[in-house]
Amino acid sequence: MKEFINEDFLLQNEFARRLYHKHSEGFPIIDYHCHLSPEAIATDRRFEDLGQLWLEGDHYKWRAMRTNGVNERYITGRDTSYREKYDRWAETVPMTMRNPLYAWTHLELKRVFGVGRLLNPSTAVEIWDECTALLRQPEYSARGLMKKFNVEVICTTDDPIDSLEHHKTLRNEGFEIKVLPAWRPDKAMSPEDPSKFIDYIGRLEEVSGTEIKGFASLIEALRNRHQYFADAGCVISDHGIEQFYSEDYTEKEVGVILRKVLTGSPLNLEEISKFKSAMLYELAIMDAERGWVQQFHYGAIRNNNSRMLEHLGPDTGYDSIGDFTVAKTLSKFLNRLDTGGNLTKTILYNLNPRDNELLATMTGNFQDGVTPGKIQFGAGWWFLDQETGMINQLNALSLMGLLSRFVGMLTDSRSFVSYPRHEYFRRILCNMLGDDIEKGKLPESEIETIGKMAEMISYYNAKNYFGF
């Protein structure tokens, strides 16, 4: 019997295999949005064992374990070892069939460690021993893993107040993989909790050397940090927002709202919405001035379980897909920027798959006839980063836009072993194209052209779009 992760995993016909092996597999990885720790790269972090590598921060796995009835002690508990947690994970893996975790786990075992066996309670011990021994080898450090996967560029996710010291260290050392910061100013536009916001503004004042007395000085402080990020090689911004904000406002109104929250008074919904609208717009202008790419990840409903939020904090696996209405606000936001000549390259990522066609058509409203694929419908994200989610995103994009101009896949990951997700995406893409050829929906005579398209989506489009 063939191994599960074999050469032709997910490639169902000869055309698909040819496209993948000849036109996609060998290209370097450009991971233009991830959450890797710059410190871990700068210090070339080593991992103790397979349990730590896999279970330290992966809330996808944590959710599956909870659903499988594993006690929280063996998921995030401080009084249990990674070995104990790993054993519970190994029991859970066979239960994850048809969840992408099943394929990812085995892709990681195969591509990172060369282990082709399936993980379950009966193989858990030998797989632990084999992988943990390999993790002690120098080529399994953070940097070693990045090199192993032929990574060319990554963009981390950083707060405007971050010193970017680790990025600078890497640059000064001349680390051969480009590790660039990305500007994520979410905290600067989140006044919902006045005390947290006041604390943040205080730190922003310090690092920018700007006293923030009103809206203009807040923008000045951020502009100062934007320049600082640009000096460190940043070319991308990212926003994690529930929805788009494009209320009408005057600077005077926003100034009053800002001063109110800075005195510690909570804002009402209308004030929050106006403040966010003003911030989103001003931040987009900064990105346009520098010709950066702006990204928007929207639509998550976060921290749904208040009991667990209290216990574990945010980003621990209690977020899900929201149902925010965005067509009109997004259109108004993009249109205002476009009208003022301030619309920079933009990537839009939805979390609710209901919005696939909405985004695929919205992007077409603001293409400029100069930059190919200037406004992008981003790859399937988070809960949609799986076979069906990717296929649906690729289909909507193909049918209502130009698949050929797509900048392709990113991991959005916190783990150094998530790079096989690029492979997963490339196989799905090539299988889709190969299937179309086999069914006569695309001409077999054009397989070289279709191969070039696979190369562009796997690599060249991202390289050109971001200017790497």
- Contacting positions for Zn ion (CB under 5 A): 412
> CB 330 → Zn ion: shortest distance, Å?
19
Q: Which is nearer to Zn ion, 412 or 423 (CB)?
A: 412
> CB 435 → Zn ion: shortest distance, Å?
30
Beta bridge partners of 297: 240, 349
> CB 342 → Zn ion: shortest distance, Å?
24
> CB 269 → Zn ion: shortest distance, Å?
26
Q: Which is nearer to Zn ion, 378 or 420 (CB)?
A: 378
> CB 413 → Zn ion: shortest distance, Å?
8
> CB 427 → Zn ion: shortest distance, Å?
23
Q: Which is nearer to Zn ion, 31 or 412 (CB)?
A: 412
Q: Which is nearer to Zn ion, 87 or 319 (CB)?
A: 319
Q: Which is nearer to Zn ion, 24 or 157 (CB)?
A: 157
Q: Which is nearer to Zn ion, 34 or 454 (CB)?
A: 34
> CB 332 → Zn ion: shortest distance, Å?
25
Q: Which is nearer to Zn ion, 282 or 412 (CB)?
A: 412
Q: Which is nearer to Zn ion, 208 or 294 (CB)?
A: 294
Q: What string of H, E and C letters represents the secondary structure of the chain?
A: CCCCCCCCCCCCCHHHHHHHHHHCCCCCEEECCCCCCHHHHHCCCCCCCHHHHHHCCCHHHHHHHHHCCCCHHHCCCCCCCHHHHHHHHHHHHHHHCCCHHHHHHHHHHHHHHCCCCCCCCCCHHHHHHHHHHHHCCHHHCHHHHHHHCCEEEEECCECCCCCCHHHHHHHHHCCCCEEECCECCHHHHCCCCHHHHHHHHHHHHHHHCCCCCCHHHHHHHHHHHHHHHHHCCCCEEEEEECCCCCCCCCHHHHHHHHHHHHCCCCCCHHHHHHHHHHHHHHHHHHHHHHCCEEEEEECEECCCCHHHHHHHCCCCCCCEECCCCCHHHHHHHHHHHHHCCCCCCEEEEECCHHHHHHHHHHHHCCCCCCCCCCEEECCCCHHHCCHHHHHHHHHHHHHHCCHHHCCCCCCCCCCCCCCHHHHHHHHHHHHHHHHHHHCCCCCHHHHHHHHHHHHHHHHHHHHHHHCC
Q: Which is nearer to Zn ion, 251 or 315 (CB)?
A: 315
Q: Is residue 6 packed enough to be buried (19+ CB in 10 Å), middle (13-18) or exposed (0-12)?
A: exposed
- Nearest residue to Zn ion, using CB? 412
> CB 156 → Zn ion: shortest distance, Å?
10
The distance between the two most distant Cα atoms of the chain, rounded to a whole number of Å, is 71
C-alpha separations of 466 from 184, 285, 408, 459 in Å = 17, 18, 12, 11
Q: Which is nearer to Zn ion, 26 or 313 (CB)?
A: 313
> CB 396 → Zn ion: shortest distance, Å?
21
* Structural contact between residues 231 and 181, judged by C-beta atoms closer than 8 angstroms: no
CA geometry: angle 80, 83, 88, nearest 5 deg:
85
φ, ψ at 168 (rounded to 5°) = -65, -40
> CB 9 → Zn ion: shortest distance, Å?
26
> CB 264 → Zn ion: shortest distance, Å?
31
Q: Which is nearer to Zn ion, 197 or 349 (CB)?
A: 349
